[in-house]
């Protein structure tokens, strides 16, 4: 485990140095990343130029949801390297190279093509989060102050689990890699809007089956003092780290199973 983390750090560091070789290109793509991911928020701003509330939630409240979702997703995306592109590595046979190196494969895939320009998403998410925390009408308590960073970190861990599970899925269905976008990008988009917007069954699904709701919906409902559409006990708002740990364990299991059944294309 420790050895894996060390290897991850070294591989990621190598890619950071390589990315920094072309400084102008790095700055431009970082900025592009910031603008591109920020357009979702511009969309929300445009919506609120026409309405005062969305399903009863005000702009700062929706901004809080948006920022929590984007920041968690941004952290996970940064940490997961080229996991999304695993399918193409399997197709061209370069995945085999990773298997013969004396380093855990997941650490290699996670560190592979590690790119700091993904900080763009994180930066704009963080900026919106800062604004939302000031602008939203929140009844601050000590536990709520602690809950915000806990929510972001747990949310990132949940998304990392989704990325790892997606990578495991690609071992089986190489061409169908796009399916995972529905859960990664689709997930982060859905979580930007109040849970009350969506149908009850959909909310149940992302609470109990694929627990994305613990990225931000459930803890944010507590911080903002908003009722959650499903009747959940109060302590659940603090359950995100537990959910994240469970997700990571399951994703790790899926990854192991996928790796065991991997068969090289032979090229």
Q: Is 96 in the site for other proteins (CB under 8 A)?
A: no
Choosing from 99, 146, 173, 253, the residue that interacts with other proteins (CB under 8 A) is 173
Candidate ranges 65-73, 89-97, 182-190, 208-216; the one touching other proteins (CB under 8 A): 182-190
**Ordered DSSP codes for the chain:** -HHHHHHHHHHHHHHHHHHHTSHHHHHHHHHHHHHHHHHHHHHHHHHHHH-S-BTTB-HHHHHHHHHHHHHHHHHHHHHTTTGGGHHHHHHHTTHHHHHHSSS-HHHHHHHTT--GGGHHHHHHHHHHHHHHHHHS-----HHHHHHHHHHHHHHHHHHHHHHHHHHHHHHH-SGGGGHHHHHHHHHHHHTTS-GGGS-HHHHHIIIIIS-GGGTTHHHHHHHHT---SS---GGGGG-HHHHHHHHHHHHHHHHHHHHHT------
Using the rule CB under 8 A, is 18 a contact of other proteins?
A: no
Q: Residue 198 or residue 238: which is nearer to other proteins going by CB?
A: 198
CB of 46 to other proteins, least distance (A): 5
The correct pick among 5, 10, 14, 35 for binding other proteins (CB under 8 A) is 35
Quick one: CA torsion of 34, 122, 134, 220, rounded to 10 degrees? 130
> Which span sits near other proteins by CB under 8 A: 195-203, 208-216, 223-231, 256-264?
195-203
Total of chain residues touching other proteins, rule CB under 8 A: 39
Report the site for other proteins in 199-218 (rule: CB under 8 A).
199, 202
Task: Kindly state whether residue 265 participates in binding other proteins, applying the rule CB under 8 A.
Answer: no
Q: Does 92 bind other proteins (CB under 8 A)?
A: no
What is the Cα–Cα distance from 228 to 194, expressed in whole angstroms?
Answer: 9
Q: How far is the CB of 140 from other proteins (least distance, A)?
A: 28
Beta-carbon neighbour count of residue 136 at 10 Å?
A: 18
Q: Pick out residues in 47-76 that bind other proteins (CB under 8 A).
A: 47, 49-55
Distance of closest approach, residue 71 Cβ to other proteins, in angstroms: 19
Give the residue with the Cβ less far from other proteins, 46 or 142: 46
Smallest gap from Cβ 108 to other proteins, in A, equals 24
| One residue of 198, 204, 248, 262 binding other proteins per CB under 8 A | 198
Q: What are the residues binding other proteins (CB under 8 A)? A: 25, 28-29, 32, 35-36, 39-40, 42-43, 46-47, 49-55, 173-179, 181-182, 185-186, 189-190, 193-194, 196-199, 202
């Amino acid at each position: 485990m420790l050895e894996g983390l060390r290897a991850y750090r070294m591989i990621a560091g190598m890619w950071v140095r390589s990315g920094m070789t072309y400084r102008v290109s790095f700055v431009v793509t970082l900025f592009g990343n910031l603008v591109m991911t920020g357009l979702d928020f511009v969309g929300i701003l445009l919506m609120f130029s026409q309405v005062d509330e969305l399903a009863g939630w005000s702009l700062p409240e929706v901004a809080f949801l948006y920022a929590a979702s984007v920041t968690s997703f941004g952290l996970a995306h940064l940490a997961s390297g080229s996991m999304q592109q695993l399918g193409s590595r399997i197709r061209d046979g370069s995945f085999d190279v990773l298997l013969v190196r004396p380093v855990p494969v997941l650490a290699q895939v996670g560190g592979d093509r590690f790119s700091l320009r993904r900080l763009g998403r994180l930066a704009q998410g963080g900026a919106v989060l800062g604004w939302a925390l000031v602008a939203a009408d929140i009844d601050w308590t000590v536990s709520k102050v602690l809950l915000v960073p806990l929510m972001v970190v747990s949310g990132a861990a949940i998304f990392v689990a989704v990325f790892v599970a997606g990578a495991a899925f690609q071992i089986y269905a190489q061409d169908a890699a796009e399916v995972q976008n529905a859960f990664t990008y689709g997930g982060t988009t859905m979580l930007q809007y109040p849970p009350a917007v969506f149908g009850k069954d959909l909310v149940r699904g992302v609470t109990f089956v694929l627990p994305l709701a613990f990225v931000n919906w459930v803890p944010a409902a507590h911080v903002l003092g908003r009722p959650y559409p499903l009747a959940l006990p109060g302590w659940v708002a603090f359950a995100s780290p537990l959910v994240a740990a469970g997700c990571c364990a399951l994703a790790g299991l899926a990854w192991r199973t996928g790796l065991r059944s991997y068969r090289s294309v032979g090229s």
